[in-house]
Structure 1
Amino acid sequence: MDLRQLEYFVAVAEEQNFTRAAERVHISQSGVSAQIRQLERELGAELFDRSARTATLTVAGKAALEHARAALAAAGAVGQAVGEVADLIRGRLTVGMVIGCTITPLFDALSVFHRAHPGVEISLLEDNSDRLVEGVRSSALDLALVGTATATPDGLEALTIISERLVVAVPAGHVLAKQRQVALRDVVAHPIVCMPPGTGLRTVFDRACAAQGLRPAIALQASAADAIADLAARGLGVAILSASMAASHHGRLTYRTIDDVETPALLALIWRSTHAPAVRELLVHSRRAFGSTAPPAGRPSH
C-alpha cells in the first residue's frame, strides 16, 4: 500500500462517488478504481459497497478511514517539518469564510502570505459559521473567519475582529423608528427579517429571545446583510443586524440598538492550536492586517 492509494481511498470516501473523487485527485475514474481495487486486495477486504449509485463505506472501510487520514496527515507533517528546517513553507492551506463576507483585511493577509510563500496552495471556502467552526475542529479547515456568539468557541483559539450589539433596522415611517428606546419584546411584535440559523448574529438573537421566553415570527431569512436591509426597506419585516451592517443603509433605514440584548455578535478568526508553519505564518499576517486596517462598515456577514 502507498500514500497515493490512501489519498484515493479518502477522496472516494468523502465524495461518495468515484467520478467526483477522480476529478478531485486529477486522474481518470478507471485509475482511481484500479488503485482502490489493488488496496482492497492488499488488505483482504472490500472498502466500499458499490451496489448503489453512491459509494458507501463497508464496515472495513469505516475502520480504515481515520487511519488513512492520519497517515496522510503524518506524511504532510513530515514535509512541512523539513520545509520549516530549510526555511521553506510548502503544502496546502484551507481557509474558511462566512458566506457573504467581504472583510478585505483577510484578503490582504492572504495576498501577502501568497507572495511570501508561493509554494503553498491556498483554498478559500464559504459556508455558514456553525459548519466552519466544525470544519476547524475536525481539521478540514486550517482556520476560518466566522460569526459567533462567544469570544472563543470551545477547543479553539480566536482573534476577535468585530464585536457589536444587535440593532433593529426599519424604514423611517415605522413605529419602531419613532421610539427612542427599543426592547426585544418591542422588536418581536413585528415580523422578523434576519440571517439563517448557523450564523453568529442569529445565534445571539435566538438565545436572547429564548432567555426572555419570546417566540419571534421569522418572516424571511437571507445570508447577506444587504439582502436583509433591502427586504426591511420594502416593509417585509424588521431587520436584525449589527450596528455596522445597518449603518451602511442609513439613508433608507433607521436603526435602534436593542437595549436589553447586551451580548454582542462577534466576527472572529478561529484556528486550532497548531505547530503547522503555514498556519502560524498566515496568523502573523492576519494579525498585522486586522490590526492596521479597520474592517469596512456594514460589509461583514455574521
Structure 2
Amino acid sequence: MELRQLEYFIAVAEEANFTRAAQRVRISQSGVSAQVRVLEHELGALLIDRSGRSATLTPAGVAALEHARAALAAVGAVRAAVDEVNGLIRGRIVVGMVASCTFEPLFDALASFHAEHPGIEITLTEDSSDRLLDQVRAGSLGLALVGTPADAPLLSGAGTMSGAGALPEPRAVSGPRAMPVVAEPLVAAVAPAHPLAVRSSLRVGDLVPYPIACLPTGTGVRAVFDRACAAAGERPRVTLEAAAPTAVAELAARGLGVAVLSASMVDDQPDRLRSMPIEDVPTLAALALVWGDTHDPALRVLIRHCHRRFAQPTSTARPTSR
C-alpha cells in the first residue's frame, strides 16, 4: 500500500468522478484508476462502485476513507515537524501593518526571514490599528504591526518601553500576544511663523485656539492624544486628518494647523517645522507586533525571528506612521 494510492482514492471519493480526481492530482485518469484498483486488490475489497454515472463509495470504501485521510494527515504532520526542526518551514503567513507605515526595521526583518525561509510565502496588508487587532483576534492575520498607547492593556506585562531601551521577551496577555518594538512621546509641530513656534514646550490647553492636524481615530498617536485631552478636560479641534504622517506634517508646515505626531515623524524637518513636547501627555505612542494563536509552525518561526531582530536598542528606528 502506497501513500499515492490513498491520495488517489480520497480524490475519487471526494470528487465522485475519476476524471475530476485525475485533474485534481494531476495525473491521467487511467493512472488514477489503475492505482485505485491496486489498492482494492491489496485490501481484498471493492472500494469504489463504478456502475453508475458517478463514482460512489462501497461500504468498504466508506470504512476506509476516514483512515486514509488520517494516514495522509499523519504523514503531513511528520513532514511539518521535521521541516520545522531543519528550518525548512513551508506555508503562508498574512502580515498586517498599520496604514501608511514605513517602519523599515519591519521590512528588514521580513526580508531576512524570507532569505532564511524561502518556502514561506509572506502576504502584506494595510489597515487601521483597531481593525488589524480585530483581524488578529479573528485569526485572519497571523501577525500585525499596530500603533497603540504604550500603557494599553494589550502591552500589559510586556515590559517597560523607552525609545532606546532593549526589548522585553514577548509575553502572553489576555487575547493577542504583543511585543512592543518602539515607543516615543508626542510632540506639537508648527511652521516657523506660527505663534506657538517661540515656545519650548506646550500643554494640551495651549492647543485649543488652533486647528489640529493629526492621524485618524484608530491609530496609536490619536488614541494617546485623545486620552490626554480628556484627562486635561480640554477639547482641541482636530480639523485636519490624514493617514500618512508626512501629510500631517506637510499641512502644519504650510501653516494650516498644529501637527500632533510622535517625535521621529517630524524631527528631520527643522527648517520647516518647530516641534515641542506636550508636557501633559505622559503616555508614549508605541508600535507593537501582535499575534494570536501560534499553532502554525511557520508563524512560530517568524515570531522567534522577529524577536531576535527587534531585541536590540531602537534609538535608530524611525517609524514614520502609527
Considering the TM-score relative to the shorter chain, is it more than 0.5?
Answer: yes
**In the alignment, what sits opposite 1:140?**
140
Superposition pairs of residues 85-234 of structure 1, within 5 angstroms: 85-86=82-83, 87=85, 88-149=88-149, 150-151=151-152, 153=154, 155-234=175-254
What do residues 5-47 of structure 1 show as CA deviations (whole Å, max 9, x unaligned)? xxxxxxxxxxxxxxxxxxxxxxxxxxxxxxxxxxxxxxxxxxx
CA distance in 1, matches of 2:73, 2:186: 43
Displacement, 1:298? 4.9
CA distance in 2, matches of 1:76, 1:227: 51
Displacement, 1:288? 2.6
Is there any run of 5+ residues in structure 1 with no aligned partner, and where?
4-74
1:164–1:299 Cα change, 3 Å: closer
CA distance in 2, matches of 1:285, 1:295: 20
Answer whether contact 2:132 2:146 (CA < 8 A) is retained: yes
CA distance in 2, matches of 1:78, 1:229: 55
1:127–1:105 Cα change, 3 Å: same
1:123–1:176 Cα change, 3 Å: same
1:195–1:80 Cα change, 3 Å: farther
Displacement, 1:145? 0.6
CA distance in 1, matches of 2:199, 2:234: 20
**In the alignment, what sits opposite 1:84?**
81
Amino acid in the other structure paired with 1:209: C
CA distance in 2, matches of 1:78, 1:223: 47
User: Which shows bigger deviation, 192-201 or 182-191?
Assistant: 182-191
Per the alignment, in what secondary structure is the counterpart of residue 311 of structure 2?
helix
User: Which shows bigger deviation, 209-218 or 128-137?
Assistant: 209-218
User: Which shows bigger deviation, 287-296 or 228-237?
Assistant: 287-296
Displacement, 1:180? 2.4
Amino acid in the other structure paired with 1:119: G
Per the alignment, in what secondary structure is the counterpart of residue 300 of structure 1?
coil
Answer whether contact 2:139 2:293 (CA < 8 A) is retained: no
Displacement, 1:244? 0.9
Answer whether contact 2:103 2:318 (CA < 8 A) is retained: no
CA distance in 1, matches of 2:234, 2:73: 50
Amino acid in the other structure paired with 1:122: I
Question: Could you state the TM-score of these two structures normalised by the residue count of structure 2?
Answer: 0.66
1:288 corresponds to 2:308 = yes
What do residues 189-210 of structure 1 show as CA deviations (whole Å, max 9, x unaligned)? 2100000011110011111112
Percent of aligned pairs with the same residue? Answer: 51
1:265–1:132 Cα change, 3 Å: same
**In the alignment, what sits opposite 1:269?**
289
CA distance in 2, matches of 1:106, 1:77: 35
CA distance in 1, matches of 2:75, 2:217: 39
CA distance in 1, matches of 2:299, 2:133: 16
Amino acid in the other structure paired with 1:138: A
Query: How many residue pairs were aligned?
Result: 231
CA distance in 2, matches of 1:140, 1:77: 25
Displacement, 1:300? 2.5
1:268–1:76 Cα change, 3 Å: farther
Question: Could you state the TM-score of these two structures normalised by the residue count of structure 1?
Answer: 0.70
CA distance in 1, matches of 2:126, 2:283: 25
Answer whether contact 1:245 1:297 (CA < 8 A) is retained: no
What do residues 22-79 of structure 1 show as CA deviations (whole Å, max 9, x unaligned)? xxxxxxxxxxxxxxxxxxxxxxxxxxxxxxxxxxxxxxxxxxxxxxxxxxxxx99995
Amino acid in the other structure paired with 1:194: C
CA distance in 2, matches of 1:295, 1:138: 33
